[in-house]
């Protein structure tokens, strides 16, 4: 599947002839199996863009073309508990597959697979989702999304309300699910370390305009203008940039977290070898 946005603009009518532009001339192509980060300051249009891609908001101008559609595009909202309505976790997760015209056996298989994939304990499956912890509610929301077997999963600020352990668990879950399903992933977040652990492509929005469509490595190489927007690089890239600024022989242009870790370890190993004993 391929999602092609062609000069997409969105305006919101505030009345009295005043219109606010949320997106202006955005053009991007998203490919299935890609993992992409969507970053930008608060109010830059990230949530609006996700809603347009999900088909929940019609562009004021431009169009969204979807080719070779073989599955749904699913958006998981910022605060999933606001969307819960079912009496139990199981019923919550089965709602999506039920509306896909599947048989009862297929629906049950989908729900069981999804809840197992997000590692929610079986004893929680018949509990009202409102009674779960924040982290558990995130798992239910994710299970509800993947139970529909989407070709693209869109996540809007998925780390809100999660502590460090919760964020690390979410990274592991998303990597696991992607390895099993090969779905495309687009994540809007203000958490650069979280994004760097999962994605390698970066879309940067500012005031509704696409300022960059790049990789983490290239973004690091020309980050200064974006730092002025209040954005931050992932910690690993920041460390490599600082080391290079101090004269170290390191390459901070690393597109993936695993590559950055390897680069830092190689530097530390060389530094250790260069230290003479007493």
Looking at residue 252, its pLDDT comes to 85
Residue 18 has pLDDT above 70, yes or no: no
pLDDT digits (tens, 9 = 90+) for 203-244: 999 999 999 999 998 988 887 778 888 889 999 999 998 998
**How large is the angle between the packed helices 104-117 and 89-98, nearest 10 degrees?**
130
Determine the Cα–Cα distance for residues 95 and 85; give it in Å rounded to an integer. Answer: 10
Q: What is the pLDDT of residues 74-121, one digit of tens each?
A: 998 877 778 899 999 999 999 999 999 899 999 999 999 999 988 899
Q: Strand runs (DSSP E) across 32-183, as ranges?
A: 35-39, 61-67, 73-76, 152-156
pLDDT tens track for 137-185? 988 999 999 999 999 999 999 888 788 888 888 899 899 888 888 889 9
| pLDDT, tens digit (0-9, with 9 covering 90-100), for 122-131 | 999 999 999 9
Identify the CATH class of 2-231.
alpha beta
Per-residue confidence (pLDDT) for residue 14, from 0 to 100: 64
- Residues 6+ away with beta carbon under 8 Å from 214: 201, 202, 204
From 130, 138, 132, select the one nearest 166 (Cα to Cα). 138
Instruction: Give the CA distances from residue 194 to residues 122, 127, 162, 187, in Å, rounded to whole numbers and listed in that order.
Output: 27, 29, 11, 10
What is the residue extent of each domain of the chain?
2-231
- What is the spatial distance between Cα 190 and Cα 157, in angstroms, rounded to a whole number? 7
Going by the DSSP 8-state scheme, the letter that residue 222 receives in this structure is: T
pLDDT in tens, 31-53: 988 999 999 999 999 999 999 99
For position 11, what pLDDT does the model report? 94
What's this model's pTM, rounded to 2 decimal places? 0.88
């Amino acid at each position: 599947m391929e999602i092609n946005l062609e000069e997409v603009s969105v305006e919101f009518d505030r009345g009295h002839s005043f219109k606010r532009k949320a997106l202006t001339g955005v053009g991007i192509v998203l490919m299935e199996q890609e993992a992409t980060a969507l970053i930008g300051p608060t109010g830059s249009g990230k949530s609006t863009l996700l809603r347009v891609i999900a088909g929940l908001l019609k562009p004021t101008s431009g169009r969204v073309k979807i080719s070779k559609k073989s599955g749904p595009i699913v958006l998981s909202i910022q605060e999933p508990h606001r969307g819960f309505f079912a009496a139990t976790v199981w019923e919550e997760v089965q709602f999506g597959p039920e509306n896909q015209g599947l048989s009862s056996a297929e629906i049950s298989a989908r729900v069981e697979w999804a809840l197992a994939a997000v590692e929610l304990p079986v004893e929680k499956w018949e509990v009202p989702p409102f009674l779960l912890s924040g982290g558990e509610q995130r798992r239910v929301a994710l299970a509800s999304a993947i139970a529909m077997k989407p070709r693209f999963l869109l996540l809007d600020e998925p780390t809100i309300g999660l502590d460090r352990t919760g964020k690390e668990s979410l990274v592991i879950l998303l990597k696991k699910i992607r390895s099993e399903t090969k779905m495309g992933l687009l994540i809007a977040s203000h958490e650069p370390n979280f994004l760097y652990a999962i994605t390698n492509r970066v879309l940067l929005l500012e005031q509704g305009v696409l300022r960059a469509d790049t990789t983490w490595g290239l973004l690091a190489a020309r980050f200064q203008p974006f730092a002025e927007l209040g954005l931050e690089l992932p910690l690993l890239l920041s460390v490599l940039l600082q080391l290079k600024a101090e004269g170290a022989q390191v390459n901070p242009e690393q597109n993936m977290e695993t590559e950055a870790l390897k680069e830092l370890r190689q530097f530390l190993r060389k530094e250790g070898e260069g230290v003479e004993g007493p």
